[in-house]
Structure 1
Amino acid sequence: MQKKQNDIALVWFRNDLRVQDNTILNNAIRNHKSVIACYCFDPKHFELSRFGFRKTEKFRTKFLIETIEDLKTNLKALNIELFVSIESPTSYIKQLVDSFNITSIYLQKEWTSEEIETLKTVRASLPIEIVITDYFDQFLYHPDDLNISFSEIPHVFTNFRKKAEKYSQIKSVIENHSPEKIDNIINPTQIPTLEELGFENFASHPNSAFPFKGGESHAINRLFHYFFHTKKLGFYKKTRNGLVGTDFSSKFSPWLANGSISARTIYWKVKQFEKEHFKNDSTYWLIFELIWRDYFKYISVKHQNNIFKVGGILKKVYDWKSDEHQVLKWIDGKTRSPFVNANMIELKKTGWMSNRGRQNVASFFAKDMLLDWRIGAAYFEAMLIDYDVHSNYGNWMYVAGVGNDPRDRTFNVDLQAERYDANGKFQKLWLQETLF
């Protein structure tokens, strides 16, 4: 075991907002006697994207605030103070480094362009002797254990899944430890309110399929509810295409997206469920979906910024349109399809949409309306509580025909409505809403 250093380490939280099963946090605790942490509500995350949408809208912002509140409490129990800022990381981290004589910074490794650029500017602002260490910690199958190089990630998901399941191991969950308490530490920072971040406060919509709060504690509560209290996990494969209610699917994605819970934690809890109760297609299918999540992350590692380009990873040329009037019809739920409209109204009112809905509205946007798929992806980025850059752009490329779907399918939204909303319950629920 490495001998602990006497200096104070800084853990810079980004999309790993948990204390349980957190490689970065635990490495800092293992290597240093004392640790502080920080989170920055980076102003860039609330600016307009090039397509005119705010990069983070009110739904995910509220969920994020709740997450940071929970993280602060959970870190405090480990003798770690969380410093929070609405300044840029470049400015604020330098302040912390200077104030606490920090020599080591720990963070989760990111690989998409905006995160890389932010880290570069932070590095440039600090003395050269500051050691910044980052680790991959978003995956179910860690890159070191995958036995597939990034350049050899298969183009078809099934090939990836079969190789991963056959040749790779999933790491155990990391146990928590506490560093030494820092005497007389003063933390005057406050977690910002919605209003301070430019939004009006709001209550969750009464019909929302995701009425849950942000934070690791709520993620763990949801897991135990879905797995052990109700045993809904055992019916997941049959119900996952549902459209109304809270329990047709696990709803883990918002907590996974900001790292409030790890994919490993969910995996090993599935295994515990299988051991204590039963194993069936549904228990496997939740793991199957976690592998899909991993796959889109590995695709983005392999293809880098191509996932944001109009031709996608296939570099295909389509005659995309960017008609603002047509885009607004899609956003406002005023297309020819009642099923698409109901899903889009649900998104606008709640920040949530089912997986089935997302596939249909995205396909309709790109294949029926022939609109530039990146505009739709940017709108999802703004609105979704569970926005994850890799899954969002991976799925949009997939349905637009520029990604990992070898069949380049088009969803027939009318047939999909008949199959998944045969009695029209979902459409009636949301089409009665008046949009302002």
Structure 2
Amino acid sequence: MRLLWLRNDLRLEDNAGWQHLADYRGQTAAVFILPAHWRTTDEYGLHRLGAARSAYLQQALTDLSARLAPFALTLLQGDPAELLLAWHERQPFELVTHAAQAPEEAGWLTRLHDAGVLLHTFEAQPLFAPQQVAPLCERFPASFTGFRQQVEKKPAWPVPAPQPAVDLGRLRAATCPLTSGIGWPKWPGEPVHPAWHGGETAAQGWLTHYLFERRALSHYKASRNELTGRYFSSHLSAALAWGCLSPRTVWHQILAYEQHWGSDEHSYWLRFELLWREYFHWSLRVHDRQLFAAGGLTGRAVTGEFNAAYWQAWCNARTGWPMIDAGLKELMATGFCSNRLRQNLASCLIHELGLDWRLGARFFERYLVDFDVASNWGNWAYIAGTGHDPCQGRRFNPHRQWRQYDPGLIHLHQWLPELGPVTLEQVESHQRGEQLLDYPAPLVPLA
């Protein structure tokens, strides 16, 4: 038989894995495995499956199961390699799955290969085909600009068209010989935004609404750094991270939008952001484990020591910086915060508190609904100066940032209503340690 192992490709359209099953004449099955260690809390109080992230994943799998019916999607929980080897021992199969994005996944595939499982891998996350990127990967560009210039030079690299969903009637279903099921943690409420409902059905609906019904792309570049609102950014990142949409589908839908209403800086900028995502994905393939080291791609020593009091205050959103605490509260409550907030949170953890940037990356991994291993770790390394940043790190001035992006304190009052009717000047004074509100003093005064 042939088994499709789904991971971050929870969709039917533009998914080569289903084509592998449809082309096979024997019995087939599909499985998603929730790694048990994702829910194991470590010494820093971190695990990999916060409530909002868990809820989105459960919704995505429920939607995919409904789209597949009557073909069954098997759900398992445990060590992926061990479970697949146990299945293979009882019912030998060829395994179809998308290529490893990170060392952990590569380790699973290596264990399966070494045990004699025949593997068929394909790409599910990138825009470009491996053969397109292969020459660049030999001497991978040290900066995104170098990558983008290669991709956009005349003639620009073509993004392959997304492939339609296969005819599910061609699949011959096999049964799973293992006890299946996942014990899901409870999610305390509904998603706060329609784009954050998991699944291919919801993702396709939001993409159509955002581009063609609301035409919100018409102000994307101007609004993308805002902190609140339904349409200030595309809100496509969760669907891309879990593979409910393919980046090729989004790219070609942007092109369709441009054909209808014309291209401008806003439509280009969303494709620009997809190229950033692409750059991080191929960088992780090239640099592998090096990205996760303390010195990242630079290899240089990282200064600073672990401060348990600072870390505990961070995890409780009680740093004494109201604007940072508001961002942390939003992230922990909803599984989302804006790109601008993420950069400021990272800058404060790294450059003000002096904590290991990798703790911040893992903190985001726990909470972000749209956690994407390449983009998350690549961006944290970028802010820390251990990644692809020619400036060797980005340190933001929080006072200047909030004067520019939340001058009316709309985001602050939404997530820290206990502050009451304070002014921006009072908040800045508090964060500098000069004037204390009825709020904890800042861990470190912000100059």
TM-score calculated relative to the size of structure 2: 0.87
Structure 2 residue 395 is matched with structure 1 residue 410: yes
* Alignment match of 1:315 (pick from 268, 275, 299): 299
Q: Which runs of no fewer than 5 residues in structure 2 stay unpaired?
A: 420-438, 440-447
Which position in structure 2 is the counterpart of 1:377? 361
Cα shift readout 1:174-193 (whole Å, capped 9, x = no counterpart): 1222253537968997653x
Contact 2:196 2:238 in 1 (8 A): no
Query: Residue 131 of structure 1 is aligned with which of 109, 118, 121?
Result: 118
Cα separation, partners in 2 of 1:398 and 1:384, compared to 1, 3 Å: same
Instruction: Show the 5 A alignment for 1:27-426.
Output: 27-32=20-25, 34-49=27-42, 51-76=44-69, 80-97=71-88, 101-125=91-115, 128=116, 130-146=117-133, 148-166=135-153, 167-178=156-167, 180-182=170-172, 192=182, 196-197=183-184, 199-204=185-190, 208=192, 212-407=196-391, 408-426=393-411
| CA positional deviation for 1:380 | 0.6
Task: Give, in angstroms, the shift of residue 85 of structure 1.
Answer: 1.3
- Do the aligned residues in 2 keep the contact of 1:147 with 1:168 (CA within 8 Å)? no
Distance 1:181 1:111 in 2: 27
Which amino acid counterpart does residue 250 of structure 1 have in structure 2? Answer: S
Deviates more, 1:142-151 or 1:256-265: 142-151
1:10 is paired with a residue of what secondary structure?
Answer: strand
Identity among equivalent positions (%) equals 29
Shift of 1:365: 0.6
> Per-residue deviation at 1:335?
2.3
Going from structure 1 to structure 2, the CA distance change for 1:32 and 1:294 (only over 3 Å counts) comes to farther
For 1:387 and 1:149, how far apart are their aligned partners in 2? 26
Secondary structure class of the residue paired with 1:353: coil
Residue 34 of structure 1: how far off its partner (Å):
4.5
> C-alpha displacement at 1:325, in angstroms?
0.9
Structure 2 distance, partners of 1:31, 1:182, is 9
TM-score in terms of structure 1 length: 0.89
Q: Deviations over 1:308-366 (max 9, x none)?
A: 11111111223122111101222322224322111111112111111000000101110
- Shift of residue 258, structure 1, vs aligned partner: 1.0
**Range that drifts further, 276-285 or 147-156:** 147-156
Instruction: Give the deviation of 1:42 after TM superposition.
Output: 1.6
Contact 1:209 1:352 in 2 (8 A): no
Bigger Cα displacement from structure 2, 162-171 vs 89-98? 89-98
CA deviation profile, 1:59-105 (whole Å, cap 9, x unmatched): 111111111111112222xx632111123323432454455x44321
Q: Is the 8 A contact 2:3 2:29 kept in 1?
A: yes
- Which amino acid counterpart does residue 416 of structure 1 have in structure 2? Q
8 Å CA contact retained: 1:10, 1:102 = no
| Greater displacement, 174-183 / 66-75 | 174-183
Aligned 8 A contact 2:52 2:187 in 1? no
Computed over aligned residues only, the root mean square deviation of the Cα atoms, in angstroms, reads: 2.3
Looking at structure 1, the residues matched to 15 and 104 of structure 2 have their Cα atoms a distance apart, in angstroms, of 23
CA contact (8 A) 2:27 2:173 kept: no
C-alpha distance 404-183 of structure 1, shift in aligned 2 (>3 A): closer
Corresponding residue of 1:21: 14
User: Residue 10 of structure 1 corresponds to which residue in structure 2?
Assistant: 3
1:270 and 1:402 mapped to 2: Cα distance?
A: 33
Q: Which residue identity does 2:405 align to in structure 1?
A: Y
| 1:149 partner SS | helix
Aligned residue number for residue 3 of structure 1: none
Are the aligned partners of 1:66 and 1:214 in contact in 2 as well (CA < 8 Å)?
yes
State whether residues 33 and 75 of structure 2, in contact with CA within 8 Å, keep that contact through their aligned partners in structure 1: yes
Q: 1:106 touches 1:134 (CA, 8 Å); kept in 2?
A: yes
Output the CA distance in 2 between the equivalents of 1:141 and 1:373. 30
4+ runs deviating over 6 angstroms: 186-190
Decide whether the 8 Å contact of 1:338 with 1:427 is kept in 2: yes
Counterpart amino acid of residue 423 in structure 1: G
SS at match of 1:92: helix
Q: Distance in 2 between matches of 1:295 and 1:48?
A: 31
User: Residues 233-281 of structure 1, C-alpha deviation per residue, up to 9 Å, x if partnerless?
Assistant: 1111111111112211111111111111100000000011111222111
Look up the equivalent residue of 1:247 and give its one-letter code. Y
Cα deviation for residue 137 of structure 1 reads 2.2
- The match for 1:4 is none
Distance 1:323 1:209, change over 3 A: farther
The whole-number CA distance in structure 2 between the counterparts of 1:412 and 1:185 is 57
Change (3 A) 1:73 1:121: same
